[in-house]
Amino acid sequence: MASATFTVQQDTALTNSHISLSVAQTQALRGQLKTQRGILNSNNIKQLCAQFNVSDDALLQGLVPLASEFSVAPVSHFHVGAIVKALDEQGDVNFYFGANVEFDHQALSLVVHAEQSAINNAWLNGAKKIVKIAISDAPCGYCRQFMNELADAKEFDILLPEKHFKLADLLPHSFGPTDLGNEFSLFNPKPHQQAFANTELDDKLAAMALNAYVPYSQNFSAVKISTFDDGDFYGSYAENAAYSPSLSPLQSALSQLFLAGLSFNGNTVQAITLLETQGHENQGGVARAVLASFDNLPEIEVISAELRLS
């Protein structure tokens, strides 16, 4: 079965060509990242840059190894980390961490790639514009295609340990949303005036479903993972013009839970709920397949709700 959580390197220091931290400083930062669910806000970044006398870009690349520690990779044992540098609604810079997640005894296509995880973290938490993404290893074709769905796909920088790129350098002659007649994109969705007819739904779960990016299936859907002691974790469905790189709402929520350093088992998880749009359901099967990789979890509750004009 899949590993319950990431491996914590309690007695190691983070030292690389960009930054140098002591064991105590590294451990404190690990704890901060778990508490803040894989996000460093603008104030955090300014404080760390001053503390370690580095630029925010040096900090961005220097912290990528910490992102890799949140990886759950029972199949490949290949731990990938990524950090998105993005602007929030106020124009402030935040760092959004991500790491790959794999599932034992399931199709390899169900994995969450580190780049997806970091982008998902930014998207779910209100980022408005991606400026850069730093990655521990070169993005695979799947991730390049996922990034091509972003509103800023032609603008942001991709920072690898030794080289910097634009997405067009890595994905020439690309296929994207406009090839399917979709003028919108992830981080720039089509406005809609709809609401779920069921007024008894969890308000945040309904809001996360309505904020899903689903121009191809129209299945506005989201997942809520409720824990006993650490609150709730939500994920929204994010589709892709090439279909396969789409990120399911359960994968989206699971990635958020792992970025908080939590275990995914019956001791931690109290309930799992999937909300889908009636007449467009397509996530029940993949959700159950992912959950089959883990032991002692509660049965998923699947809700199909009608959408109406609000």
Q: Mind listing the pLDDT tens digit for each residue in 23-79?
A: 999 999 999 999 999 999 999 999 999 999 999 999 999 999 999 999 999 999 999
Is 173 annotated as contributing to ligand binding? Answer: no
Tell me whether strands 269-277 and 301-305 are parallel, antiparallel or unpaired.
parallel
- Asked whether the predicted pLDDT for residue 298 surpasses 80, the reply is yes
Q: Which CATH superfamily is domain 194-309 in?
A: Cytidine Deaminase, domain 2 (3.40.140.10)
**Which of the following is catalytic: 69, 115, 149, 276?**
115
Q: What is the pLDDT of residues 253-288, one digit of tens each?
A: 999 999 999 999 999 999 999 999 999 999 999 999
Indicate the pLDDT class of residue 238, thresholds 50, 70 and 90.
Answer: very high
Q: Where exactly are the structural domains of the chain?
A: 36-176, 194-309
User: For 196-214, what is the mean pLDDT?
Assistant: 95
Q: How far apart are CA 222 and CA 31, in angstroms?
A: 28
Indicate the pLDDT class of residue 10, thresholds 50, 70 and 90.
Answer: low
Answer whether 36-176 and 194-309 agree in fold.
yes
Task: Name the CATH architecture for the domain at 36-176.
Answer: 3-Layer(aba) Sandwich (3.40)
The pLDDT value recorded for residue 189 is: 86
DSSP category for residue 299? P
- Asked whether the predicted pLDDT for residue 129 surpasses 70, the reply is yes
The pLDDT value recorded for residue 9 is: 55
Is 276 annotated as contributing to ligand binding? Answer: no
CA dist 189 to 123, 214, 221, Å?
11, 9, 15
pTM to 2 decimal places: 0.95
Is 49 annotated as contributing to ligand binding? Answer: no
User: For 216-237, what is the mean pLDDT?
Assistant: 98
Residue 67 near residue 81 (C-beta atoms within 8 A): yes
Concerning whether 301 is annotated as a catalytic residue, the answer is no
User: For 6-31, what is the mean pLDDT?
Assistant: 84
